[in-house]
Amino acid sequence: MRSSIFDNSKDIFLDTVNAKDFVQLDRVSTIYQSLKDSVNKPLKMILLYGKPGTGKSMFLTKLYHDLSQSKKVYLYNTPILDESEFYKTLAHDLLDVKYRGELNYTQFMKIINEHIVDENPDNIPIILLDEAQLYSATLMENIRLLSDTRKVKFVITLHKTEKEDLIAKEHFQTRIWESIELENASASELKMYIQKKLMKANCFDSASMFQMKSINLIYKLTSGNYRDTNKLLYTLFEIYTWYNENNPIKINRSNISNKLIEMAALHTGLIND
Ligand SMILES: Nc1ncnc2c1ncn2[C@@H]1O[C@H](COP(=O)(O)OP(=O)(O)O)[C@@H](O)[C@H]1O
Ligand SMILES: [Mg+2]
């Protein structure tokens, strides 16, 4: 049987977040570098925001991976919604302090002040919180107060919605914050994203099948959103795998078919019939 190049290509577009899968794109790399620079500045908090699927979790995971060699860094992908649980987890992970029963903000602050005496800003523990829009307003306010002590530093990601834009205005636009916005890819960035992702996995044949004609259609369907693009391409390669096994003469191996892109878009719900 013919090799399953389409099957391999499909799995590249699974919606997973691993630092090793990070794709360098001009704008993405510039923004990532400014995020890394911000971490080294005496800022108390760094806010990473953008619509779902723009790569926030990917940035945070990559940052964790890159910083973990030289700094004390802690990543929380899933929000710890219970306030006491949140402080207990941090006390345990950062300071190796095990606490029984409830732990409130005041007690936690005391633990922080007792245990973190190092004044060297390079040794500050860096806490990465993904999906921070899920934390309560009270907990967010306490996280802000914690940062004011300059004994810990937070990098948080926030989904951008109309409502949260207001929050961003009130809370986050002071000098203690650096805010970095992630956006969807442009059509040419989308082409780079797709081709680089495939080439990283040695799928050179499928990478070369993406001409601008197909990219423009994919861009039209996904607006350059990385998650929607992953979903679309996963399904597209699923369709290609099926044809490859059942009706191989039907597929043109030099170009991606726009008909099949549309079929994939129907399957994933990006267009309605
Ligand atoms: N720079 C990038 N390199 C490789 N994959 C990326 C990149 N940015 C986003 N992705 C992929 O796009 C998908 C959505 O990204 P994610 O970080 O989960 O978005 P968000 O957290 O903003 O909703 C993920 O599956 C991720 O693998
Ligand atoms: Mg995310």
Q: Is residue 131 part of a domain?
A: yes
Residue 152, C-beta contacts closer than 8 angstroms, at least 6 positions apart: 94, 112, 116, 124, 125, 126, 127, 146
Confidence band for 1, pLDDT divided at 50, 70 and 90: very low
Q: 108 and 228 share a domain?
A: no
Q: What CATH number does residue 91 fall under?
A: 3.40.50.300
User: 181, 210, 226 — which closes off a domain?
Assistant: 181
pLDDT for res 117? 84
pLDDT for res 160? 75
Residues 81 and 10: their CA atoms lie apart, in Å, by 35
How many angstroms from the chain centroid is the CA of residue 90? 22
Residues 200 and 19: their CA atoms lie apart, in Å, by 13
pLDDT for res 168? 55
Confidence band for 43, pLDDT divided at 50, 70 and 90: confident
pLDDT for res 203? 94
* Count of Cβ atoms closer than 10 Å to residue 258 Cβ: 13
pLDDT in tens, 74-99: 999 999 999 999 999 999 999 999 98
Q: Is residue 151 part of a domain?
A: yes
- Percentage, residues of the chain above pLDDT 90: 75
Whole-number mean pLDDT of the chain? 90
Q: 192 and 156 share a domain?
A: no
Confidence band for 177, pLDDT divided at 50, 70 and 90: confident
Nearest CA residue ID for atom 13, ligand 1:
227
Q: Which ligand is nearest to the CA of 233?
A: 1
pLDDT for res 165? 58
Q: What is the mean pLDDT of residues 219-242?
A: 97
pLDDT for res 164? 58
pLDDT for res 172? 56
Q: How many residues can be counted in the chain?
A: 273
From the CA of 28, give the closest atom in ligand 1: 1
| Least confidently predicted of 122-131, 149-158, 170-179 | 170-179
Q: How far is the CA of 183 from the centre of ligand 2 (A)?
A: 13
pLDDT for res 150? 87
State how far the alpha carbon of 257 is from the alpha carbons of 31, 204, 218, 237, 250, in Å: 33, 17, 11, 11, 11
Q: Which domain holds residue 170?
A: 26-181
Q: Is residue 273 part of a domain?
A: no
Which residues have any ligand 1 atom within 6 Å of their CB? Answer: 15-17, 21-23, 28, 50, 52-58, 226-227, 230
Q: Is residue 21 part of a domain?
A: no
Question: Does 193 score more than 90 pLDDT?
Answer: yes
The 3-state DSSP class for residue 153 equals strand
State how far the alpha carbon of 222 is from the alpha carbons of 46, 144, 218, 231, in Å: 28, 35, 6, 10
Q: How far is the CA of 115 from the centre of ligand 2 (A)?
A: 32
Q: 192 and 164 share a domain?
A: no
pLDDT in tens, 109-130: 999 999 988 778 788 999 999 9
User: 147, 181, 215 — which closes off a domain?
Assistant: 181
Closest to 6 in 3D by CA, of 207, 195, 192? 207
Of 12, 17, 194, which is best to mutate to test ligand 1, by the most ligand atoms within 8 angstroms of its C-beta? Answer: 17
Q: What is the mean pLDDT of residues 217-240?
A: 97
Question: Does 166 score more than 90 pLDDT?
Answer: no
0.85 exceeded by the pTM? yes
Are 95 and 103 in contact, with CB atoms under 8 Å apart? no
Q: 108 and 70 share a domain?
A: yes
pLDDT for res 121? 78
Nearest CA residue ID for atom 25, ligand 1:
15
From the CA of 22, give the closest atom in ligand 1: 3
Q: 135 and 232 share a domain?
A: no
Q: Say how many domains are in the chain.
A: 2
User: 166, 181, 196 — which closes off a domain?
Assistant: 181
Q: 191 and 171 share a domain?
A: no
